[in-house]
Amino acid sequence: MTEVSDDLGVLRSSIGGPVFGPDDTGYDEARSIWNGDIDHRPAGIARCLSPGDVGSALGFARDRELEVSVRGGGHAFSGTAVSEGGLMIDLSAMNGTSVESETAMARVGGGATMADLDAATQAHGLAVTGGVISHTGVGGLTLGGGMGWLTHLAGLSIDNLASAEVVLADGSVVRASDDEHPDLFWAIRGGGGNFGVVTEFEYRLHPVGPEVNLGLFFWSLDDGADALRLCREFIPTLPTRSGSLIAAGMCAPPEPFVPEQYRGVPGHALIVAGFSSAAEHAAAVAPIRDAVPPLFEFVTPIPYAGLQQMLDGAAPWGILGYEKALDLVDLTDEVIAVLVEHAPRKSSPLSFMPIFRLDGAFASVGENDTAFGGARTPHYVCNIAGVADTPELLAADRAWTRSIWEALRPLASNQGGYVNFMAEPDENRVRASYGPTKYDRLAAVKAHYDPGNTFHLNANIRPA
């Protein structure tokens, strides 16, 4: 690493952004990412300002046989944004967003967060599907698929991607779309960061906000089975302009809208977002309280940007995290029994199981139209997130996460699960996620655009 650090002057002279070595002021801040459990020390960090900078950084790494990692938002549980002893290509300064309200299109830099994108699009009452935590990076989220509050209404992030600017392993810059490099465009829509560094995304937007409607319903652990069965029956009936999230095993947050006696109490929550009128939202959520009365509820108008930021407190920057996930055709009684049995066994109050329903516009996209790893038929993605503020609590809830995943595996429709929820990507799980036909097609695209597997710190597709 010392030899590389001594040579970083060459890189500094070839890019417009700053370069950090281990002895430089700002190095520790530059290498920090969301998951505080990751403590990797790259030999150098290139904070790029342009596609040309990215190409120069890739050339520097190639000449010195350095492993390459790419940091967008730095939000992945896996920590693959930071290579140990390699070169980190940091896109965080490439976070600009421009919106054309007349055509409902947006261009956003590869280092932007969802908060950056939402701020720009909501100025025009527009939005695109993008997670449930506002400091999630647009790049990593989109390349793996990108689900969130708008999935039911608008599909995944990749279903709204019109084009992307990509820096390839050899440093060349291409634009991928239906008309240009269509094979690459297909692959980056779900195939992750395997094919190049995406420095700009272009999205189709939808009229959403600036004010939307929220309904949060919380039940005790004792009512867990009844509450989750209610979710199973209720969620598929939601109107088109709505979205939902089940937060199984979560602790009620210490927020003013939570009655004091319930703050910190573990239980199960259903969060429903409505993107039409308050009256339609009220009618949509009315059956919930009649079927299984919650401990408390919170129904209110909320800015769309506020909805996107609502769960940020459950995942603060620098927290320690570990996750696993799998796909479920339905919340069967067997699945619910597993969730109810394991929910009380967590150790950290921050750990929980966010469960996403993928249907509506998501299911209107063809199975092979994108490289998304998972079926395009309606189903659930069950994420099991161990989140803690001490190593001891994380160790306990890492075991908790694994135990739930193992118990759910025999009930899963896709044991590989969503590639963005792989804290420990391995070849078998990646292959399982995509299935043999889609994986082989991705491997062929990989062989064309990255035959040397430069971009392998991810849910890796090996070149055919």
Tell me how far apart the alpha carbons of residues 196 and 163 are, in angstroms, rounded to a whole number: 14
pLDDT digits (tens, 9 = 90+) for 423-459: 998 899 999 999 999 999 999 999 999 999 999 999 9
pLDDT digits (tens, 9 = 90+) for 232-278: 999 999 999 999 999 999 999 999 999 999 999 999 999 999 999 99
CA angle 272, 275, 276 (to 5 degrees): 120
- Phi then psi dihedrals of residue 202, to 5 deg: -120, 120
- Dmax over CA atoms of the chain, in Å, equals 68
Domain 2-6+13-90 annotated CATH 3.40.190.10: no
Helix (H) or strand (E) holding 303: strand 296-303
pLDDT at 460: 96
pLDDT at 4: 73
Q: Domain 211-421: which CATH class?
A: alpha beta
> Under a CB-based contact definition with an 8 Å cutoff, are residues 375 and 191 in contact?
no
Rounded to two decimals, the pTM is: 0.95
Ranges assigned E (strand) in 118-274: 126-127, 161-167, 173-177, 197-204, 206-207, 211-220, 242-251, 266-274
Domain 97-207 annotated CATH 3.40.30.10: no
pLDDT at 314: 87
Q: How many CB atoms lie within 10 A of CB 371?
A: 27
CA distances to 128, 240, 274, 312 from 114, rounded to whole Å, are: 10, 23, 19, 12
Residue 315 CA, chain-centre distance (Å), reads 12
Nearest to 232 by CA among 162, 132, 331: 331
Nearest to 155 by CA among 353, 363, 368, 329: 363
Tell me how far apart the alpha carbons of residues 248 and 62 are, in angstroms, rounded to a whole number: 45
Tell me how far apart the alpha carbons of residues 425 and 187 are, in angstroms, rounded to a whole number: 18
**Close Cβ partners of 51 (under 8 Å, ≥ 6 residues apart):** 165, 167, 173, 199
Mean pLDDT by 10 residues, the chain (464 residues): 74 96 95 96 98 98 97 94 97 97 98 97 97 95 97 98 98 98 98 97 97 97 97 96 97 93 97 96 94 95 96 92 97 98 97 97 97 96 97 98 97 92 91 95 98 97 96
Residue 361 CA, chain-centre distance (Å), reads 19
Tell me how far apart the alpha carbons of residues 168 and 392 are, in angstroms, rounded to a whole number: 41
What is the DSSP code (8-state) at residue 132? S
Tell me how far apart the alpha carbons of residues 77 and 383 are, in angstroms, rounded to a whole number: 12
Nearest to 251 by CA among 263, 239, 236, 242: 263
Tell me how far apart the alpha carbons of residues 266 and 306 are, in angstroms, rounded to a whole number: 24
pLDDT at 158: 98
Nearest to 11 by CA among 51, 59, 49: 59
Sign for the CA dihedral angle at 32, 33, 34, 36 comes to negative
Sign for the CA dihedral angle at 403, 408, 412, 417 comes to negative
SS3 call for 127: strand
**Close Cβ partners of 36 (under 8 Å, ≥ 6 residues apart):** 318, 319, 320, 321
SS3 call for 417: coil
List the domain boundaries for the chain: 2-6+13-90, 97-207, 211-421
